[in-house]
Amino acid sequence: MLNTKNKLLIILFATTFWNVGAQTKIELSPREKPVTISKHIYGHFAEHLGRCIYDGFYVGEDNTAIPHTNGVRNDVVAALKELQIPNLRWPGGCFADTYHWKDGIGPKEKRPAIVNNWWGGVTEDNSFGTHDFLDMCELLETEPYLAGNVGSGEVQELADWVQYVNFEGRSPMSDLRRQNGREKPWKVKFWGVGNEAWGCGGHMTAEYYSDIYRKYATFMSDWSNTGGLYRIASGANSADYHWTETLMKKLPKNLVKGIALHHYAVIDWNKKGPAIEYTDEQYFRTMKSAWFMNELVEKHSAIMDKYDPNKEIALVVDEWGGWYEVEPGTNPGFLYQQNTMRDAMIAGMTLNIFNNHADRVKMANLAQTINVLQAVILTKGEKMITTPTYHVMEMYKVHQDAELIPLAIDSKSFVWNDEAIPAVSASASKAKDGKTYLSLVNIDPKANQDVEINLGKAFSGVSGRVLTSKELRDFNDFDAPQRIAPRPFDGSKLNKERLHVSLPPFSVVVLALDEQ
């Protein structure tokens, strides 16, 4: 039987064991009032841009080389269902404010062609329209998020679109829908009222857009009596806090459910740097820009808290991701870029930020799904591959609709010259399967990070997966589609309520903890 002195020595030994070499310390502390990490944080974005829609999602009903369902690639559908994507934003982006939805309904041979002035100046034949997109969302088992045309469209046009897709009774628009082959409405919940109104959506001031929003939102009627439309206002460009302040002051709560925010991890808008052969300095600057998302979310949320202390209006980050120069030899307007381990770092860090602010961030959309910017899927003819970003999203899906476990983190810094950002980010949740999940990211490209975690209570077991590679600039391509993929992780040691994790350089780790 141990005496008091021996017990004290054991406690001191255990404390010393967990503190030795620990560079980062994390403490989990469940809150009294639970917060759910909305699954809609894990949304995606599909714009009529480059090869995202055509040659990405859609290969045409007459294609005999690629297996498809009504023109939509079956391999893409399977891959996105594996991610459990909760929503998909369409048709833009900048394209949304030049898109007239009636051009994309009815017999395809009779649909008018337009020029995509924003993205490459290519001719758009409108063969992929409202029915095609909403039917595809049913295949994907995901909710559609439609971005309405406010920049060049009229109020009646947007009101008609809502009626066309949502009204079950007799009306001019619902009758037109039936004429075009769809009896039941799709019941679309999520609606963007314009896009980037401060820029490609009309170069408006915040004050002017607020009035325009009120007008358009008023005539977007809903007849389902199931809680109404989820109207999302075109929000700020990165650190434009005046825009958020103005919208929160001027928009009535009965007309708005969410306010958007757009921010990309970019080194310099005039010199974005390459997607693959980036320098160490360019890597650091990309990570610094990605980490800036944390400050943006906190500062925009603080403004929203002044006017909406009960957090009834969501912050919707419906465009985020890395943005680099296009791949050599590709159309500059198509925004096709390769996806390396740097992109996995952006994805893991950003999703941790969103999770940790789940009381205000209720929805987000990675830009974009296929062949554009930080894509989760790349296609080339009959071939399709998934990217490092895809694998992060798949690993993190355990957080969807789970209960957030707040945490405090004291991280070692990732330093470049005289600048520094945290090397480690993390988020935690308790899922409906009873397990506690912990996601950890080490963005340092050269150093392991030893992390000591106080779990707050004892657990009986731990397992996990890691995403990393031999080189930071590694990527999956059509000749080596599985070069980067998750694998089992054995770098954690559990001692009841203490967890020690050794994170490899540039890695994403997701751990599952079993209750006692």
CB 48 within 8 A of CB 57: no
Lowest-confidence pick of 9-23, 60-74, 323-337:
9-23
The tens digit of pLDDT for each residue in 76-105 reads 999 999 999 999 999 999 999 999 999 999
CB 456 within 8 A of CB 437: no
CB 483 within 8 A of CB 475: yes
Query: Can 403 be counted among the known catalytic residues?
Result: no
Residue 274: burial class (beta carbons within 10 Å; 0-12, 13-18, 19+): middle
Catalytic residue among 124, 143, 196, 403: 196
Q: Kindly list the structural domains of the chain, giving each domain's residue range(s) and its CATH number in brackets, ordered by start.
A: 22-32+406-515 (2.60.40.1180), 39-400 (3.20.20.80)
Query: Can 196 be counted among the known catalytic residues?
Result: yes
Q: d(Cα 295, Cα 317) in Å, to the nearest integer?
A: 13
Amino acid at 511: L
Q: What is the pLDDT of residue 222?
A: 78
Distances (CA, A) of 363 to 38, 45, 89, 301, 315: 7, 12, 11, 14, 7
Q: What is the pLDDT of residue 22?
A: 60
What is the phi/psi pair of residue 393, to 5°? -60, -35
The tens digit of pLDDT for each residue in 263-280 reads 999 999 999 999 999 999
Which residue, among 173, 168, 171, 172, has the nearest Cα to 183 in the 3D structure?
168
Residue 339 token pair: 């996806």
The tens digit of pLDDT for each residue in 138-177 reads 999 999 999 999 999 999 999 999 999 999 999 999 999 9
CB 353 within 8 A of CB 346: no
Distances (CA, A) of 389 to 54, 342, 366, 370, 481: 21, 9, 10, 11, 13
pLDDT higher than 50, residue 9:
no
The tens digit of pLDDT for each residue in 464-484 reads 999 999 999 999 999 999 999
Name 463's Cβ contacts closer than 8 Å, sequence gap at least 6.
Answer: 488, 489, 511, 512
Catalytic residue among 319, 394, 403, 452: 319
What is the phi/psi pair of residue 462, to 5°? -140, 140
Task: Output 494 or 20, whichever has higher pLDDT.
Answer: 494
